[in-house]
Structure 1
């Protein structure tokens, strides 16, 4: 369990760093490129964005290693601490001390993770259920994410950023579950990594990952990190845990005290993420940004 926690926290650290770098790059793109693949084509020419993606991929690899050792419900809350690392890096870069709100957010996120794990004690995750059940769960999640995107098209920029970020987080949650499903399937079958090419999960995972990146970069393009990142960080673990239960048969303790602890832990986790997302340190990422021609004023 200690190794899993270390892998999860290291993954969260790299994910937080990667998100900060990506948002710095994406925020300078024209608003008209949101939700268009041309946004990604522009960003791939920016070294900072590529470094951010590489760092994020490194975090995802560590997250996959953690998922190989533990259930999704055990790993997801650890990955949700990525915002703490993003906050710490921003504070270090700008040489400013963390205030009361930042400490409160950090305590809520860390305490929420610990409370959920101690109360729920997730266990017994196995191979994915019937393909029909898996696809119904995935398609239902994608439909909810699509609704958020459709609503985002018609609202103001801050709300648009939060909705797009939430939809990206939902896709990242699917991605985490498919990663765990692929690893468990291969392990149960006693097959090597090359067998990933023979099962459907990795191909679906690739499509989901690209869509998630597009939605996340569109959210980063729409608003500063303090608005666009918390929704992603909150949605990913919630969706990942839910799908882990439905698709992989993971179990959480269901007695009243455990349920109360699980709910309280998730509420604290989300509340901490929101508080950290409002930190003025994360807002610094928008200061001094050079706007490309044609970009509207925020």
Structure 2
């Protein structure tokens, strides 16, 4: 089999696995977000939140979907570069909107749908312009990884700091930023674990990457549950998480693992525009969520108490 044929065969396996994995993650996000609203609010990174959630059947369904999504993501990462797999995960935003609407028995909000599609279009454009290649399986041993590592740590701490001192939507934004960075770092480490396991199933247990995943991954997951609980609507926070996750993954692929991307001036300009499109999508989602939240609050104030006790509104 030629190299080109082998690459095509790998992508035929990796791309569907990544998309179906994104669908599973979308279901998990919708189920977990709804379940977190049914338990008492806790401090950030308080494991007590999980103790309350574990008794919720909907949250357990979300956990099963999370496991399936992670397994499919591992398969995709074993056969394709981070630069291919990570941007595909942005489609989880659309799936989450659909599943959230179904769980709440309502039609998806048109503006939320447009915002989600805008985010997906931005990531898809970024992928097409970047033209990713390479499939490195080890972190670089040169000092090159350190600037990105420091930037990611600072961004995570900044997000956590904002979530502690701020309130409302700004607090949720801080939580979402920290979650997205940790998720992207987890994906980069999972890439190493997946390639090692593909060569030898026992190899990951002899290397540090697997154990670091076991530390960073749960932290990111716990933060995501805090994010879902604190936010009034799912889609804006999830848009930040699902945009940062692949973008951090792309950075790790290039800076840490030797993957390559198109860096011509025209491509870089196009990638910057694609990034701006993603930001527009997130702003559109956030603005719509704020408006819907205000409308829901006004409706709650007008309805009888027994009608207003339930959770109203949602995203699409």
Q: TM-score, normalised by structure 1?
A: 0.85
Matched, 1:42 2:37: no
**Aligned equivalent of 2:99, options 78, 89, 108:** 89
The verdict on how the C-alpha distance between 1:109 and 1:4 changes in structure 2, with shifts beyond 3 A counting, is farther
2:154, 2:85 → 1: CA distance?
Answer: 25
Partner of 1:155: 166
The alpha-carbon deviation at position 228 of structure 1 amounts to 2.8
**1:6-155 equivalences in 2 (<5 Å):** 6-94=16-104, 96-98=106-108, 100-126=110-136, 127-130=138-141, 137-138=148-149, 140-155=151-166
The alpha-carbon deviation at position 267 of structure 1 amounts to 2.6
Q: Deviations over 1:248-289 (max 9, x none)?
A: 111110112211222222332343345356666x979x9824
The alpha-carbon deviation at position 245 of structure 1 amounts to 1.1
Partner of 2:281: 272
Unaligned runs of 5+ in 1: 291-298
Unaligned runs of 5+ in 2: 1-10, 297-307
Partner of 2:185: 174
Matched, 1:4 2:26: no
2:221, 2:174 → 1: CA distance?
Answer: 14
The verdict on how the C-alpha distance between 1:274 and 1:267 changes in structure 2, with shifts beyond 3 A counting, is same
Matched, 1:288 2:310: yes
Name the stretch that deviates more: 124-133 or 50-59: 124-133
**1:180-219 equivalences in 2 (<5 Å):** 180-187=191-198, 190=199, 192-219=200-227
Q: What RMSD, in angstroms, separates the aligned Cα atoms of the two structures?
A: 2.7
The alpha-carbon deviation at position 137 of structure 1 amounts to 4.2
Secondary structure, aligned partner of 2:202:
helix
Q: Deviations over 1:210-233 (max 9, x none)?
A: 100111111112112144322211
2:285, 2:236 → 1: CA distance?
Answer: 10
The alpha-carbon deviation at position 243 of structure 1 amounts to 1.4
Partner of 2:304: none
Bigger RCO (CA 8 Å, 6+ sep)? 1
The verdict on how the C-alpha distance between 1:254 and 1:143 changes in structure 2, with shifts beyond 3 A counting, is same
Q: Deviations over 1:86-114 (max 9, x none)?
A: 11223344555555424533442332233
1:226, 1:124 → 2: CA distance?
Answer: 33
Partner of 2:271: 262
Contact 2:42 2:48 in 1 (8 A): no
1:180, 1:18 → 2: CA distance?
Answer: 21
Q: TM-score, normalised by structure 2?
A: 0.80
The alpha-carbon deviation at position 199 of structure 1 amounts to 0.6
